[in-house]
């Protein structure tokens, strides 16, 4: 089966511009997560979708970040306007189950550089 | 806020040596997962441990979950150059099921 697909793989934008990241989870996975790793720090949780609903968005840094998952399939993460500190690698992950310790599958990530 | 302290941050060893990576927290986790990440790729799940005291083996890798479910370790026996990579521990717990709390990672280099 196809894995979790993220694109673009790299994006370089100027401060103040808008960027939209996309994640296609494994087909049939109800759970979709966004994580981010900024340089020198650990991977941090951003938010969790169950189907099209936001289950937990406690990790979203501020209101410049907007995540959507229309129809419960793919998800987008928009950053508007981008700031320098938004640079990092954004990972998407999906899982089928709702119990503890789900089997996560991560995408390869989008490396975002804000200059 | 749950935190996971992973150590060491860097590990450089010779082929054939043994090593242990540690993950510690003051918080209780419902499960602890270990991932391996290659450059340009996302983390790949190696194992999930869910029971205090649980030990799981994956070929030359041994994973242990502490009795109190606050710590975990990854032991590699007779390391090989192919084991080189970034190893990450991550826990689930608290009120947000599914949400992973990651350690900072251990960059392992095994020299031939």
pLDDT band at B96 (very low <50, low <70, confident <90, very high): low
CB B83 within 8 A of CB B110: yes
Position B2 pLDDT exceeds 90? no
Q: Does the distance separating the beta carbons of B90 and A43 come in below 8 Å?
A: yes
Residue B103: list chain A partners with CB under 8 A: 42
In this complex, do B41 and A42 lie within 8 Å of one another by their Cβ atoms?
no
Task: State residue B25's pLDDT score.
Answer: 93
- Provide, rounded to the nearest whole percent, the portion of chain B with pLDDT above 70: 96
- Mutation for A interface: B23, B40, B98, B106, most A CBs within 10 A: B98
B98 confidence band (pLDDT: 50, 70, 90): confident
Which of B10, B43, B48, B94 should one mutate to test binding to chain A, selecting the residue with the greatest count of A CBs within 10 A?
B43
Query: What string of pLDDT tens digits covers the 115 residues of chain A?
Result: 679 999 999 999 999 999 999 999 999 898 999 999 998 899 999 999 999 999 999 999 999 999 999 888 999 999 999 999 999 999 999 988 765 445 789 999 999 999 9
Question: What is the distance between the alpha carbons of residues B96 and B84, in angstroms, rounded to a whole number?
Answer: 32
Q: Residue A14's Cα: distance from chain center in Å? A: 20
Chain A residues close to B4, C-beta within 8 Å: 42
pLDDT in tens, B59-95: 999 999 999 999 999 999 999 999 999 999 999 876 5
B100, pLDDT greater than 80:
yes
Mean pLDDT of B22-28: 94
Shortest distance between the Cα of A54 and any Cα of chain B, in A, equals 12
Beta partners for residue A78, in sequence order: A20, A66
Residues near A94 by beta carbon (within 8 Å), at least 6 away in sequence: A4, A25, A26, A29, A31, A32, A33, A104, A105
What confidence score (pLDDT) does residue A102 get? 54
Q: Are strands B85-92 and B106-111 parallel, antiparallel or unpaired?
A: antiparallel
Tracing tokens 């391996």 back to the chain, one arrives at B36
Q: Which helix (H) or strand (E) holds B56?
A: strand B55-58
CA torsion A107→A108→A112→A113, rounded to 10°? Answer: 170
Q: With residue B48 as reference, give the H or E element that holds it.
A: strand B44-49
Of residues A8, A109, A86, A37, the one with CA closest to residue B44 = A109
Q: Which residue has the tokens 């010779």?
A: B14
């Amino acid at each position: 089966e196809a894995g979790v697909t993220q694109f673009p793989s790299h994006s370089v934008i100027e401060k103040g511009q808008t960027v939209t990241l996309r994640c296609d989870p494994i087909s049939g996975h109800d759970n979709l997560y966004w994580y981010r790793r900024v340089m020198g720090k650990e991977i941090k949780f951003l938010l969790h979708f169950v189907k099209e609903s936001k289950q937990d968005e406690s990790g979203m840094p501020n209101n410049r970040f907007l995540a959507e998952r229309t129809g419960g399939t793919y998800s987008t993460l928009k950053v508007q306007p981008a700031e320098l500190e938004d640079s990092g690698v954004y990972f998407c992950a999906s899982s089928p189950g709702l119990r503890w310790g789900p089997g996560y599958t991560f995408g390869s990530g989008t490396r975002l550089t804000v200059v | 806020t749950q935190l996971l302290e992973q150590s060491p941050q860097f590990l450089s060893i010779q082929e054939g040596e043994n090593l242990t990576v540690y993950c510690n927290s003051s918080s209780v986790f419902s499960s602890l997962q270990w991932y391996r990440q290659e450059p340009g790729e996302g983390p790949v799940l190696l194992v999930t441990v869910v029971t205090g005291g649980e030990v799981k083996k994956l070929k030359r890798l041994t994973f242990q979950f502490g009795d109190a479910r606050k710590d975990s370790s990854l032991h590699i026996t007779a390391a090989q150059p192919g084991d080189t990579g970034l190893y990450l521990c991550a826990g689930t717990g608290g009120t947000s099921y599914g949400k992973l709390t990651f350690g900072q990672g251990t960059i392992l280099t095994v020299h031939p």
